[in-house]
Amino acid sequence: MTAPQDIEGILAKRYDAGFVTDIEQDTAPPGLDEGTIRMISGKKEEPSWLLDWRLEAFARWRRMREPRWAKVEYPAIDYQAISYYSAPKQKPKLESLDEVDPKLLETYAKLGIPLHEQKLLAGVAVDAVFDSVSVATTFKAKLGEAGVIFCSISEAVREHPELVRRYLGSVVPTTDNFFAALNSAVFTDGSFVYVPKGVRCPMELSTYFRINASNTGQFERTLIVADEGSYVSYLEGCTAPMRDENQLHAAVVELVALADAEIKYSTVQNWYPGDENGVGGIYNFVTKRGRCAGARSKIAWTQVETGSAITWKYPSCILEGEGSVGEFYSVALSNHYQQADTGTKMIHVGPNTRSTIVSKGISAGHGQQTYRGGVTIARGATGARNHTQCDSLLIGNSCGAHTIPYVDVQNRTAQVEHEATTSRIGEDQLFYCRARGLSEEDAVGLIVNGFCKEVLNELPMEFAVEAQKLLGISLEGAVG
């Protein structure tokens, strides 16, 4: 079954979040050396242990090489041409939202993220990171009553140094990979969450990342710790203005779940993908990893990746605790000249650990999509089980989908299953839908949403709707 030529014509995309906010910025000149790191650390008034940690990461990073094994192509990144710090000019510490620059609030409102508490989606607390710094965290008081700490990581370093010191780098060590090392050296902000023992976080927590300044990289660092028997659901959303040059985003996210704790981490990633000719867009090199440290703990990653020129991302779980559970649900879409090399790693260390992987890749235009997934069963992981389902959907004839599973089983009692399918939206399907009265775009949307349903169902309700819309917009013009 092949799709006709005209399907390719449909792929002209609109990017809604592509505006620039005109705001006074405090931006460091491009370049990276020890001085840059001291400058960042100084701006943030960090303790010396953190500066030392950064400097060590930087020393390691200088000796590392950029990974080239992913199936993505891009010109060499000049790390000296990037500015590593950019912040809106304003008073450094904010006591309430009223002190936030109205232009910033306007930006978030335009993005559909109303920061004012009264306008908030009921029960969702939001931390917003604008370029390098966190500008507002809502609902702090209500969370405080439950004992939940939700703040920017800079604030956490000041207010809860013992927690940060204990867990920062405990899941993704500074030396883990090139981009993680770079992030460790220069990270500027991000979110911190601590949910105390036995507490079910009373609301969804949410962070919105926004790159505004040109020529800057964004290196945020997120750390979430769920203490014994606690539960938290966290959602991250990202956007950036349309610019002709590529911008680097290299984040690190670390999750720690102690015994009987559960962390649900959802991402709707809509960084600027570049235009229909592949000019501009975000390079998204992200390290996300969770550690199920305690028995029966659970970490679930759900991601909808529609943006970025390049996505390099493998949210993973280290399943140490006996009977701990890792889940990965992913929809990744590559249209035009977008490239995504994404997947997960499930590392089974403890006995009776279980993992589920559901990956849905959609390629359209000249988009290239690679699922790269690793399942490791260590010697001690008696009775471990993994199920992987990996489906690819192709729209048109110029895109590609690739599936690269790695399986390493050291314990014979383990069960590992892998299923993969590839299908194409056919001209016959589109004609059938149109003959029933649906426009071609609605038909594509219907088929794509049907294809992704299993993953979208894992998202919190209001975000599932958002994600569905985003998929529709990202495929606008995908068929002619």
Partner 1 sequence: MLKIENLHVRVGGTEILKGLSLELGAGEVHAIMGPNGSGKSTLSYVLAGRDGYEVTEGRVLYDGVDLLALAPEERAAKGVFLAFQYPVEIPGVSNVYFLKAAVNAVRKARGEKELDAIEFMRFAREKAKLVALDAELLKRAVNSGFSGGEKKRNEVFQMAALEPRLAILDETDSGLDIDALRIVSDGVNALRGPDRAMLVITHYQRLLDYIVPDRVHVLVDGRIVRSGDKTLAGELEARGYAELGG
- Let me know the angle formed at the C-alpha of 161 by 207 and 298, rounded to the nearest 5 degrees: 50
- Residue type, position 392, single letter: S
- Residue from 42, 110, 431, 469 touching partner 1 (CB under 8 A): that is 431
DSSP SS3 for 446: helix
Q: Which of residues 6-25 bind partner 1 (CB under 8 A)?
A: 6
Q: Which of residues 432-461 bind partner 1 (CB under 8 A)?
A: 432-440, 442, 446-447, 449-451, 453
Taking CB under 8 A as the rule, does residue 120 contact partner 1?
no
Number of H helices, E strands in the chain: 11, 23
Of the two residues 301 and 451, which places its CB atom closer to partner 1 in the complex? 451
Of the two residues 6 and 417, which places its CB atom closer to partner 1 in the complex? 6
Applying CB under 8 A, the span of 38-46, 53-61, 324-332, 429-437 interacting with partner 1 comes to 429-437
- Residue from 428, 457, 461, 469 touching partner 1 (CB under 8 A): that is 428
Of the two residues 20 and 461, which places its CB atom closer to partner 1 in the complex? 461
Angstrom distance (rounded) from CA 67 to CA 201: 38
What's the chain's Rg over C-alpha atoms? 22
Taking CB under 8 A as the rule, does residue 333 contact partner 1?
no
Of the two residues 411 and 468, which places its CB atom closer to partner 1 in the complex? 468
Nearest CA-CA partner of 40 in 189, 142, 230:
189
Which tokens go with 102? 């109205």
- Residue from 429, 462, 468, 476 touching partner 1 (CB under 8 A): that is 429
Of the two residues 163 and 473, which places its CB atom closer to partner 1 in the complex? 473
Angstrom distance (rounded) from CA 480 to CA 439: 11
Angstrom distance (rounded) from CA 39 to CA 204: 34
CB of 428 to partner 1, least distance (A): 5
CB of 130 to partner 1, least distance (A): 38
CB of 433 to partner 1, least distance (A): 8
Of the two residues 82 and 433, which places its CB atom closer to partner 1 in the complex? 433
CB of 439 to partner 1, least distance (A): 5
Taking CB under 8 A as the rule, does residue 427 contact partner 1?
yes
Phi-psi region of 32 (alpha: psi -120 to 50; beta: other; left: phi over 0): beta
Percentages (nearest 5) of helix, strand, coil residues in the chain:
25, 35, 40
Do residues 330 and 358 lie in contact, with contact meaning Cβ atoms separated by under 8 Å? Answer: yes
Of the two residues 35 and 437, which places its CB atom closer to partner 1 in the complex? 437
- Residue type, position 116, single letter: H
Q: Where are the alpha helices (DSSP H) in 1-149?
A: 6-9, 34-43, 48-62, 102-110, 140-146
Angstrom distance (rounded) from CA 273 to CA 239: 10
Of the two residues 22 and 419, which places its CB atom closer to partner 1 in the complex? 419
| Per-residue mark of binding to partner 1, 140-169 (x: CB under 8 A) | ------------------------------
Of the two residues 347 and 425, which places its CB atom closer to partner 1 in the complex? 425
CB of 431 to partner 1, least distance (A): 5
CB of 455 to partner 1, least distance (A): 11
Applying CB under 8 A, the span of 15-23, 51-59, 279-287, 420-428 interacting with partner 1 comes to 420-428
Residue count, binding to partner 1 (CB under 8 A): 24
Q: Where are the alpha helices (DSSP H) in 151-207?
A: 153-159, 161-167, 178-186
Q: Which of residues 287-326 bind partner 1 (CB under 8 A)?
A: none
* DSSP state for residue 216 in the 8-state scheme: B
Of the two residues 176 and 454, which places its CB atom closer to partner 1 in the complex? 454
* Beta-strand relationship, 86-88 and 25-27: antiparallel
> Distance of alpha carbon 214 from its chain centroid, rounded?
21
Q: Which residues bind partner 1 (CB under 8 A)?
A: 4, 6, 423, 426-429, 431-440, 442, 446-447, 449-451, 453
